[in-house]
Amino acid sequence: MPPERFLIRQDKLLSLIREAEVDALLVTGVSNVRYLTGFSGDSSALLIGPSVRVLISDSRYQTQIVEECPGLEADIRTQKTKPHDQLAAVIAKARPGKLAIESHILTVHELGKVKEAIEKTDAGKTIEIKPLAETVEKLRQIKDDEEVAETRLAIRIAERAFVAMKATLTGELTERQVAHELEHTMRRLGADRSAFEPIVAVGDRSALPHYRSGDRRIGESTFLLVDWGAALPSGYRSDLTRVLATDTVPGQLQELHGVVLKAQLAGIAAIHPGAKLKDVDSAARRVIEEAGYGDFFGHGLGHGIGLHIHEEPRMNSVAEGELQPGNIVTVEPGIYLPDFGGVRIEDDVLVTSDGHEVLSSLPKDLE
């Protein structure tokens, strides 16, 4: 991404910092630092305020920072300096009267070390530390054109890998082997890695929403559930789920699949700018409840995706807030029957200025 894109994001964050009535924010979340600067390393922080923008890192990343963050001031630590002493020195030099920290990320232990180090500096007694949670995340909810394009690519890679995997599927393969092949194919097609550990669940194992692929063989049942996604070198991800039939489809599975598909389409149809998050969830959940399976749909309808596989906004029955143009969310209703199996259908959906766009394109029929 061009450096200007990160400057725009930093300027938007500065507006939120002013609204919070603090002088600077210490950004310590790895993905938040990346979102604001383009730096793809870890173990680093960004001190940002109206009069300071400094990336705080160590000598391992000195060349990388120059390449990825041209023009951004950086403070580079050597092995002779403790990380908390480095943070304190940079903060003391900036002298923010009120310093905000990412209170949802920085642990109590880490905060104690930072405070102790700051208090040892000349400016220590003049700096007040205040909690400020999920401020950068508010910006990350709204994807720009570049982020949407990256998500589209992550979806296309995942879809192509899925089609390739289906062509090689045999009854002798285990769930784990299929998951590994799916991830290998995504990497070969341009992904950096899998967006998360793929779920390949045979038969009754598909009733576990977050099942870990094991040694069950594909031929042990007549159907399987596959939940997978690709992560690009840029960090952006996709998240999809389909159910495949490997033999004669049981009547109960056909029924469940029909209900879940109807619920998913109802949820997608409810997506538009200003739609209440809980109302979108309700549109899909109502279909499943009316079919008599309400007790077997225990999770929310969907979540945002981006640099993390689970981001805001989240659509569930207790969610507050509304959808906004630029949100990219999953829509993934499911029904899970113990001792039989489960059905989940998941697509990635962009909220547009006047409605929505389904970004994924794989067939949803029970093949």
What CATH number has the domain bearing residue 277? Answer: 3.90.230.10
Indicate if 335 and 217 belong to the same structural domain: yes
Q: In angstroms, what CA-CA distances link 256 with 39, 219, 289, 344? A: 45, 21, 12, 9
Separation between Cα atoms, residue 311 and residue 7, nearest integer Å: 22
Which secondary structure element, helix H or strand E, spans residue 266, and what is its range?
helix 251-269
186, 194 Cβ separation under 8 angstroms: yes
Indicate if 213 and 166 belong to the same structural domain: yes
pLDDT at residue number 353: 97
Separation between Cα atoms, residue 258 and residue 256, nearest integer Å: 5
Indicate if 135 and 149 belong to the same structural domain: no
Instruction: Using 50 as the pLDDT threshold, list the residues of the chain that sit under it.
Output: none
Tens-place pLDDT, residues 294-316? 999 999 999 999 999 999 999 99
pLDDT at residue number 9: 97
**Residue 207 has what DSSP assignment?**
G
Tell me whether residue 366 is in a domain: no
Indicate if 158 and 268 belong to the same structural domain: yes
Q: In angstroms, what CA-CA distances link 91 with 33, 39, 44, 140? A: 17, 20, 14, 25
Indicate if 174 and 304 belong to the same structural domain: yes
Which secondary structure element, helix H or strand E, spans residue 190, and what is its range?
none
pLDDT at residue number 118: 94
Tell me whether residue 367 is in a domain: no
**Residue 221 has what DSSP assignment?**
S
Q: Which of 120, 140, 160 is the last residue of a domain?
A: 140
Residues 6+ apart with CB under 8 A from 10: 36, 37, 48, 53
**What CATH number is given to the structural domain containing 13?**
3.40.350.10
Tell me whether residue 23 is in a domain: yes
Indicate if 118 and 214 belong to the same structural domain: no
Indicate if 135 and 150 belong to the same structural domain: no
Into how many domains does the chain fold? 2
Indicate if 334 and 193 belong to the same structural domain: yes
- Chain centre to alpha carbon of residue 66: 27
Separation between Cα atoms, residue 311 and residue 204, nearest integer Å: 29
Tell me whether residue 8 is in a domain: yes
Indicate if 111 and 165 belong to the same structural domain: no
CB atoms within 10 A of CB 245: 17
pLDDT at residue number 124: 79
DSSP-based three-state secondary structure for 246: coil
Q: Which of 82, 114, 140 is the last residue of a domain?
A: 140
Tell me whether residue 363 is in a domain: no
Q: Which of 140, 166, 198 is the last residue of a domain?
A: 140
Threshold 0.85, pTM exceeds? yes
Indicate if 83 and 185 belong to the same structural domain: no
Tell me whether residue 54 is in a domain: yes
Tell me whether residue 97 is in a domain: yes
Range of the domain at 33: 3-140
pLDDT at residue number 255: 97
Tell me whether residue 364 is in a domain: no
First to last CA, the chain: 39
Indicate if 179 and 135 belong to the same structural domain: no
Which secondary structure element, helix H or strand E, spans residue 63, and what is its range?
helix 62-68
Indicate if 298 and 189 belong to the same structural domain: yes
pLDDT at residue number 2: 59
Look up residue 178 and give its two tokens: 């299929």
